[in-house]
């Protein structure tokens, strides 16, 4: 294949908007072998290990643990490859190393199969999260002797949980970092710095982001701000393309905005909300889709849960029919939920936030394959 066809640096916006990223076209076996070797090298001689989602929230957790433990190896993991990352960590982690899992939630029992091996290999395993867990999966993780702490999803981010649970004193700038991370992760958006953190964590390499927030907290340096300004030109163009191709559809009493493309989903959903959508479905070129709710539609989690997706919990409301979602979601055979779990009930975990924290203004969920639906 001609690499120029998928080169993200040279593709025109129109084409880039409708194609997946370069990694989509790389054979899974090749990528898996390379990733395993990288994890083996990263864990060599590590005394503390963090398995975390490499978004702003997961990386904030990692930065806090590194500060508390005087260093830690990061193993980036996304929800759909959680089991494999945990298995590789269990295989290569040095004996008696401390392991933390942050901002990740299992979707089914298979995701936590390696946990017992990980506990056997490590000195201890602690798990900090804020998504809503299936009670049976939470019980299974705790039964494996993992210290699992799940914060209330509509009030805190995983960094909130981490800074409260670590036995360490942190400078005020790191408490500020957690607050700004929460502002983004719960889609509160009262602090303009939260968009900067979100974009920078997405566009930079994890280690670069970690170094920056460790040195500067949530107040990013001027050179980073200039970099973000340059990247946002393309970001806004991709948002515009997704909004242009969007359609508004009536589903029962709700108006649902539907679009396709590589884009920043939150901003696209917000624009569709301003155009009258009660909910938005953004189908992504790699084959998955994301749902964004509003105060008028707060049961996106039930729709996502029917196709093995999920996320943070929503408030009472009603949901569209499965056939409607089926008609706009591709059947890919891939599990691509960004925030997996079936948010059906809140586990009793005894954790209460120690700050006054706002709830999110909109709820977001991700769909995996639509193969479970029948039109």
DSSP notation for 306-351: TTT-EES---S-----HHHHHTTS---S----SS-S--SS------
How many whole angstroms separate alpha carbon 150 and alpha carbon 131? 7
Which one has a higher pLDDT value, 108 or 353?
108
Assigned domain for 292 exists: yes
Domain boundary among 207, 227, 247: 227
Task: Characterise 53 by phi-psi region: left (phi > 0), alpha (psi -120 to 50), beta (else).
Answer: beta
- Residue 263 in any domain: the answer is yes
Does 372 reside within a domain?
Answer: no
Same domain, 16 and 96: yes
Domain finish residue from 227, 246, 264? 227
Confidence of residue 5 (pLDDT cuts 50, 70, 90): low
Where residue 301 falls among pLDDT bands split at 50, 70, 90? Answer: confident
Report the range of poorest mean pLDDT among 109-118, 156-165, 303-312.
Answer: 303-312
pLDDT at 4: 61
Q: How far apart, in whole angstroms, are the C-alpha atoms of residue 130 and residue 155?
A: 9
Pick the range with the lowest mean pLDDT from 133-142, 237-246, 292-301, 357-366. 357-366
Residue 316 pLDDT level (bands cut at 50, 70, 90): very low
pTM for the whole thing?
A: 0.71
Question: In the predicted model, what is the mean pLDDT of residues 310-330?
Answer: 33
Residue 350 has pLDDT above 60, yes or no: no
Q: Which domain holds residue 205?
A: 3-227
pLDDT band at 19 (very low <50, low <70, confident <90, very high): confident
- Average of per-residue pLDDT values in the chain: 81
**Interval 120-149 mean pLDDT:** 97
Whether 126 and 201 map to the same domain: the answer is: yes
Q: Regarding predicted confidence, which is higher, 316 or 216?
A: 216
**How far is residue 2's CA from residue 195's CA, in Å, rounded to a whole number?**
35
State whether 81 and 178 are in the same domain. yes
Residues 209 and 290 in one domain: no
Average pLDDT over residues 351-375: 33
In this structure, the strands spanning 48-52 and 73-76 are parallel
Phi, psi (deg, nearest 5) at residue 260? -140, 140
What's the order of all strands across the beta sheet hosting 247-251? 247-251, 254-260, 279-283, 289-293, 364-367, 310-311
Residue 142 neighbours by CB under 8 Å, 6+ apart = 148
DSSP 54-111: SSHHHHHHHHHHHHHHT--EEEE--GGGHHHHHHHHHHHSPTT-EEEEES---SSGGG
φ/ψ (deg, to 5) at 281: -120, 120
| Residues 37 and 184 reside in one and the same domain | yes
Q: Is residue 373 part of a domain?
A: no
Structural domains counted in the chain: 2
Residue 196 shares a structural domain with residue 244: no
Residues 150 and 76 in one domain: yes
Task: Clarify whether residues 41 and 164 are in a common domain.
Answer: yes
204 with 245, same domain: the answer is: no
> In this predicted structure, what is the pLDDT of residue 69?
97
Six-digit token pair at 185?
């992760």
Q: Both tokens of residue 352? A: 């209460």
Q: Is residue 284 domain-shared with residue 217, that is, in the same domain?
A: no
* Predicted pLDDT of residue 1: 54
Secondary structure of residue 2 in the 3-state scheme: coil
pLDDT value for 264? 83
More confident residue, 71 or 21: 71
pLDDT at 287 over 50: yes
* Residue 279 domain-assigned (yes or no): yes
Asked if the structure places residue 97 within a domain, the reply is yes
Mean pLDDT of 58-68: 98
Structure confidence at residue 3 as a pLDDT band (50, 70, 90): low
Chain segment 74-128, per-residue pLDDT in tens: 999 998 899 999 999 999 999 989 999 999 999 899 999 999 999 999 999 999 9
Distances (CA, A) of 76 to 23, 59, 279, 335: 15, 9, 31, 17
Give the DSSP per-residue string, 128-190. Answer: EE-SPPPHHHHHHHHHTT-EEEE--TTT--HHHHHHHHSSS---HHHHHHHHHHHHHHTT---
374 part of a folded domain:
no
**CATH number of the domain enclosing 293:** 3.10.310
Among residues 227, 249, 278, which one ends one of the domains? 227
Split at pLDDT 50, 70, 90, the class of 309 is low
Same domain as 141, residue 104: yes
Within-domain flag for 276: yes
The reply to whether 221 and 240 lie within a common domain is no
For residue 68, give the CATH number of its domain: 3.90.1640
Mean pLDDT of 243-259: 93
Of all residues in the chain, the percent with pLDDT exceeding 90 is 60
């Amino acid at each position: 294949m001609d690499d120029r066809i998928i080169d993200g640096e040279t593709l025109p916006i129109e084409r880039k908007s409708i194609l997946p990223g370069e990694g989509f076209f790389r054979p899974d076996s090749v990528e898996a072998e390379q990733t395993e070797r990288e994890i083996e090298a990263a864990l060599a001689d590590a005394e503390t290990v963090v398995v975390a989602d490499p978004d702003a929230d997961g990386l904030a957790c990692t930065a806090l643990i590194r500060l508390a433990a005087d260093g830690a190896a990061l193993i980036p993991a996304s929800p759909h490859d959680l089991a494999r990352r945990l298995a590789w960590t269990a295989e290569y982690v040095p004996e008696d190393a401390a392991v933390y899992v942050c901002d990740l939630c299992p979707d089914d029992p298979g995701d936590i199969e390696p946990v017992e091996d990980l506990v056997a290999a490590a000195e201890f395993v602690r798990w900090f999260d804020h998504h809503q867990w299936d009670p049976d999966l939470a019980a299974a993780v705790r039964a494996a002797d993992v210290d699992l702490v799940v914060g209330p999803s509509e009030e805190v981010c995983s960094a909130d949980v981490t800074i409260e649970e670590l036995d360490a004193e942190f400078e005020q700038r790191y408490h500020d970092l957690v607050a700004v991370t929460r502002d983004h992760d719960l889609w509160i958006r009262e602090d303009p710095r939260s968009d900067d953190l979100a974009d920078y964590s997405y566009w930079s390499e994890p280690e670069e982001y970690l170094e920056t927030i460790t040195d500067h907290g949530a107040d990013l340096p001027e050179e980073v701000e200039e970099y973000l300004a340059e990247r946002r030109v393309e970001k806004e163009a991709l948002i515009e393309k997704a909004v242009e191709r969007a359609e508004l559809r009536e589903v029962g009493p709700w108006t649902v905005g539907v679009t396709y493309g590589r884009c920043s989903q939150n901003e696209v959903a917000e624009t569709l909300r301003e155009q009258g959508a009660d909910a938005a479905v953004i189908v992504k070129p790699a084959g998955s889709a994301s749902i964004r709710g509003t105060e008028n539609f707060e049961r996106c989690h039930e729709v996502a849960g029917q196709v093995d997706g999920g996320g943070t919990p929503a408030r009472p409301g009603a949901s569209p029919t499965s056939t409607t979602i089926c008609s706009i979601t591709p059947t890919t055979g891939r599990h691509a939920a960004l925030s997996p779990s079936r948010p059906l009930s809140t586990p009793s975990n005894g954790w209460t936030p120690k700050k006054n924290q706002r709830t999110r203004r909109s709820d977001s969920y991700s769909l995996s394959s639509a193969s479970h639906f029948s039109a």
